[in-house]
Amino acid sequence: MLEMRGITKRFPGVLANHRVDFTVNAGEVHTLLGENGAGKSTLMKILYGLYQADEGEIFLSGERVEIHSPTDAIAHNIGMIHQHFMLVETLTVAENVALGLPSNRGLRTDLDAVSERIEELAGRYGLAIDPGAVVWQLAVGQRQRVEIIKALYRDAQLLILDEPTAVLTPQEVDQLFVTLRQMTDDGRGLIFISHKLHEVLALSDRITVLRQGTITGQVPVEGATRESLALMMVGRQVKLAPDKPPVEIGEVALEIRGLSVMGDRGDKAVRGLNLEVHAGEILGIAGVSGNGQREMAQAIAGLRQATAGSIRIGGVETTNHTPADVRKNGLAYVTEGRLRDGAIADFSVSENILLIDHTDKRYLKRGLLDFKAIKEHSLRLVDEYAVKTPTIDTPAKNLSGGNIQKMILAREMSGTPTVLVASQPTRGVDIGAAEYIHKRLVQQRAENTAIMMISEDLDEVFALSDRIAVIYEGQIIGIVDRQTATREQIGLMMAGVRPE
Amino acid sequence: MSEFFTQAVLIAAVASGIRLAVPLLLASLGETYGQRSGVLNLGVDGIMLLGAFGGYYTVLKTDNVWLGLAMGIGVGVILGLVSAVISVTLKAEQGISGIGIYLFGLGMSDLLFQKLVGTPLPVGSFPKLDIPGLSDIPILGEMLFRHSIIVYVAFGLVPISMYIINRTTFGMNIRAVGENPEAADSLGVSVVRIRYLTVTIGGMMAGIAGAALAIDLGIFQQNLTNAQGFIAIALVYFGAWRPAGVMAGSLLYGFVNSVVLQFKTLGIIPRSWSDIAAMAPAIITILALVLVARRFRQPAALTKPFTRGT
């Protein structure tokens, strides 16, 4: 039903898509696989009219079409579920669905009729939703249903799903896949964008792999394996899970008792949370995003006020101490926002590395910065952590996500911390860098650091953790040993089901 | 003090409070449209001033208040469009660009007045309309139903605006564009078109507000509005971006103003204090703003220009 031929798109300094051919048949799921920046989103934005291709043609059911805007795309029965939901939080479900469509009642909205049709679609595809609910009240999984209903309501025959599983629990993913299969049974064509290999293998009929803007492989799902796909994505063999030598689990290095923390909206984001992390272990924190992970990590780092409870690092009380003081007690913190609070975009690599040490006597000379010592320190870390940068004076923003992350990791681990809190350490970085970061975390574990790794990527949690704790609504709902844990068990806890 | 609490004075105070609220109500209702769609127009006061001069001058020349009001509309629409070009198309920093419009209106209205009129000549005001039946109700009738026509128009626009914002497709688009323009755009709602419309409506209402103020007073002078346009912007926040809330704020400001005026007339406030007393409405508005407005969340995209695909 869809044929994209020879699509080329250039951005200043980047060839985002280079002569890409892509087809979708009615009734199939065609997956677009590739690392961040490989050009998947660009290709889909061209199809949906958000970008214009520099070269190439698009055919729908054999006819050449021009798609200049989302309106054109919708008119051609193309729908898109964006990675970041395109919902107006202050409007109701029905209003969100009706937005942009003419009303049966002229100038007035006709939400009753819209609601009726929503319930009809919801019934048919198993997407239970209350049309009158205001979107901000809905959970993430429900919001996604609204997005799907929006597309179905516009009779999308070709549906683009941009990383739709990123925010779902494993059970919600299963449920989503059932709905998607029902849609292909109706003869719709789906384009599935993902980098989670096991999901790609579970859902796809065909898989196209993009790397640096060009197609590096197009295969049917039969015969494809995680390793073969990763090879096409990266261009070399990669280890998807690091080797983890056994280590002696030591004393409690991080102890959290009854911790409560407020969220940004004045809500209780963390409610009486208890947790212990031992020296020499990696404790994975699994959970759907927004369940208090960020607030907990910030409270540990002294960046957010704890309203109750206590935090001890290496046996020393650090609750509500200043961030500098917490660090002095042995905490290192890799934040989830690389360029938001992990590094300063316009600062050079060297300056970013110095950020936590700028008052350290080793880098000072008569109260002024000692640039020679700083340079040596930076060069050593850049080299040791394989940060790919032209010079140590290059602004951090010019580095790739993976290299920024390696730079942050180098800085945080340089002092051999007692406790390392790593939030989403590999989110959005390429597989090669992720592989390296994982290796580093395992090395740090061997050096007896207690590591708390917060991740929304269950593959990562399973690959690295010694124990897995699940956070739900600001509490640890259960902790299981990695050896005995199953995805189903973790998934249920992520959805709030307490273990027996 | 006791002389204030006589029936006649109280009735007059309420009636004049309603009257004083009108320019603010018109301007802040208009600004509500713009802000609900994500555009803050700080130039309201400048548009009011030019609308005021345009209205006044037209009445002076034609002796027709309706033509004066029409001139206010015309001036407001043009300046509204200019504001839209600046903030929507050129994507200027909204916290600053509106000040340019204000300074332009402030200077231009005075210049035109000096060149074209010179000495202040009074003009005729809006005709009064006693609502048949209702105006005969004791006390209430005198307070509410013996006003000039513009008062009824202004307050009539409150339910109309509520209906437009909450019950029409246009209103739904406004709310969507002010909250999440990317989402609206992805469904084919033209963010640019909606914002042009709302900012132009805001300019038009500011123009009407200015003309209504000048014609109601029957005069024009330099800086006639005395920063009422800025109060109107504050009232949009105070009213939590809702027409009814905006109306409540306008009335509060009108009443405080009218009470201060009555106090001065009756000599309750010593003459030497009158300048300080004149600040009361502004102070009370600011206090109310601080206490009330924080509880509501502003439109998420307010002051943020929209560019597709970022």
Mean pLDDT (whole number) for B11-18: 92
Degrees (nearest 5) of the Cα angle B2, B6, B12? 120
pLDDT at A427: 84
Whether B153 has a pLDDT exceeding 80, the answer reads: yes
pLDDT at A417: 92
DSSP string, A107-143: TB--HHHHHHHHHHHHHHHT----TTSBGGGS-HHHH
Option in A70, A90, A102 nearest B179 (CB): A90
Mean pLDDT (whole number) for B265-285: 75
Whether A261 has a pLDDT exceeding 90, the answer reads: yes
pLDDT at A14: 80
Quick one: A2-234 is in which CATH superfamily?
P-loop containing nucleotide triphosphate hydrolases (3.40.50.300)
Q: How far A108 CA sits from the closest chain B CA (Å)?
A: 4
Whether A166 has a pLDDT exceeding 80, the answer reads: no
Mean pLDDT (whole number) for A418-434: 89
DSSP 8-state symbol, A498:
P
Whether A385 has a pLDDT exceeding 60, the answer reads: yes
Can you give the pTM of this predicted structure? 0.81
pLDDT at A137: 85
Asked if B173 lies within 8 A of A99 by C-beta distance, the reply is yes
Asked if B179 lies within 8 A of A89 by C-beta distance, the reply is yes
Topology of domain A252-346+414-494 in CATH is: Rossmann fold (3.40.50)
Pick the range with the lowest mean pLDDT from A20-29, A176-185, B192-201, B269-278: B269-278
Asked if B179 lies within 8 A of A45 by C-beta distance, the reply is no
Taking the C-alpha atoms of residue A407 and residue A378, their distance in angstroms, rounded to an integer, is: 10
Whether B292 has a pLDDT exceeding 70, the answer reads: no
Instruction: In chain A, list all ranges with CATH 3.40.50.300.
Output: 2-234, 252-346+414-494
pLDDT at B75: 97
The strand pair at A214-220 and B128-130 is best described as unpaired
pLDDT at B9: 85
Mean pLDDT for chain B overall: 90
Asked if A99 lies within 8 A of B167 by C-beta distance, the reply is no
Confidence tier at B134 by pLDDT (50, 70, 90): confident
Closest CA to A426 of A443, A409, A449, A448: A409
Option in A51, A70, A99 nearest B176 (CB): A99
Residue type, A303: L
Instruction: Name the burial class of residue A400, with classes exposed (0-12), middle (13-18) and buried (19+) by CB atoms within 10 angstroms of its CB.
Output: middle
Mean pLDDT for chain A overall: 91
Taking the C-alpha atoms of residue A243 and residue A111, their distance in angstroms, rounded to an integer, is: 57
Residue B186: list chain A partners with CB under 8 A. 48, 50, 70, 80, 82, 86
- CATH number of B2-293, picked from 1.20.144, 1.10.3470, 1.10.150, 2.60.40: 1.10.3470
Residue A48: list chain B partners with CB under 8 A. 186
pLDDT at A138: 87
Option in B168, B180, B309 nearest A89 (CB): B180
Asked if B179 lies within 8 A of A91 by C-beta distance, the reply is yes
Closest CA to B251 of B23, B31, B18, B13: B18
Confidence tier at B298 by pLDDT (50, 70, 90): confident
Closest residue, chain A, to B168 (C-alpha): A108
Q: Does B192 touch chain A (CB under 8 A)?
A: no
Closest residue, chain B, to A87 (C-alpha): B183
Asked if B186 lies within 8 A of A70 by C-beta distance, the reply is yes
Q: Which B-chain residues 36-75 have CB contacts (< 8 A) with chain A?
A: none
* Model ipTM value: 0.87
Asked if A88 lies within 8 A of B183 by C-beta distance, the reply is yes
- pLDDT tens per residue, range A444-475: 999 999 999 999 888 899 999 999 999 999 99
Whether A349 has a pLDDT exceeding 60, the answer reads: yes
Token duo for residue A257: 């008792």
pLDDT at B294: 62
DSSP string, chain B: -TTTSSHHHHHHHHHHHHHHHHHHHHHHHHHHHHHHTT---TTHHHHHHHHHHHHHHHHHHH--HHHHHHHHHHHHHHHHHHHHIIIIIS---HHHHHHHHHHHHHHHHHHHHHHHT-S------PPEEEPTTGGGSTTHHHHHSEEEHHHHHHHHHHHHHHHHHHHBHHHHHHHHHHH-HHHHHHTT--HHHHHHHHHHHHHHHHHHHHHHHHHHHT---TTTTTTHHHHHHHHHHHTTT-HHHHHHHHHHHHHHHHHHHHHHHHT-S-GGGHHHHHTHHHHHHHHHHHHHGGGSPPPTTTT----TT-
Asked if A100 lies within 8 A of B187 by C-beta distance, the reply is yes
pLDDT at A29: 96
pLDDT at B308: 77
Taking the C-alpha atoms of residue B139 and residue B145, their distance in angstroms, rounded to an integer, is: 10
Confidence tier at A401 by pLDDT (50, 70, 90): confident
Residue A99: list chain B partners with CB under 8 A. 172-173, 176, 183-184, 187, 189
Confidence tier at B293 by pLDDT (50, 70, 90): low
Closest residue, chain B, to A95 (C-alpha): B172
Hey, where are the domains in chain B? 2-293
Whether A56 has a pLDDT exceeding 70, the answer reads: yes
Token duo for residue B33: 């449209």
Closest CA to B98 of B87, B108, B88: B87
Closest residue, chain A, to B179 (C-alpha): A88
pLDDT at A238: 77
pLDDT at A431: 81
Confidence tier at A190 by pLDDT (50, 70, 90): very high
Mutate to test the interface with A, among B165, B166, B169 (most CBs of A within 10 A): B169
pLDDT at A117: 95
Residue A150: list chain B partners with CB under 8 A. 187
Whether B310 has a pLDDT exceeding 60, the answer reads: no
pLDDT at B199: 97
pLDDT at B2: 72
Residues B53/B107, Cβ–Cβ less than 8 Å: no
Residue B182: list chain A partners with CB under 8 A. 86
Instruction: Name the burial class of residue B191, with classes exposed (0-12), middle (13-18) and buried (19+) by CB atoms within 10 angstroms of its CB.
Output: buried
Asked if B169 lies within 8 A of A102 by C-beta distance, the reply is yes
Chain A interface residues (partner B, CB cutoff 8 A): 45, 48, 50-51, 69-71, 74, 80, 82, 85-91, 95-96, 98-103, 107-109, 150
- Give the residue, B142 or A301, on which the prediction is more confident: A301
A129 CB-side CA count, 13 A: 36
Taking the C-alpha atoms of residue A256 and residue A303, their distance in angstroms, rounded to an integer, is: 16
Asked if B309 lies within 8 A of A150 by C-beta distance, the reply is no
Residue A74: list chain B partners with CB under 8 A. 187-188
Mutate to test the interface with A, among B37, B165, B173, B187 (most CBs of A within 10 A): B187
Closest residue, chain A, to B301 (C-alpha): A88
If you count residue pairs, one on A and one on B, with CB atoms under 8 Å apart, how many are there?
Answer: 73
pLDDT at B295: 65
Whether B209 has a pLDDT exceeding 60, the answer reads: yes
Q: Does B176 touch chain A (CB under 8 A)?
A: yes
- pLDDT tens per residue, range A21-31: 999 999 999 99
Percentage with pLDDT > 90 across chain A: 65
Closest CA to A311 of A444, A421, A410, A411: A421
Asked if A74 lies within 8 A of B170 by C-beta distance, the reply is no
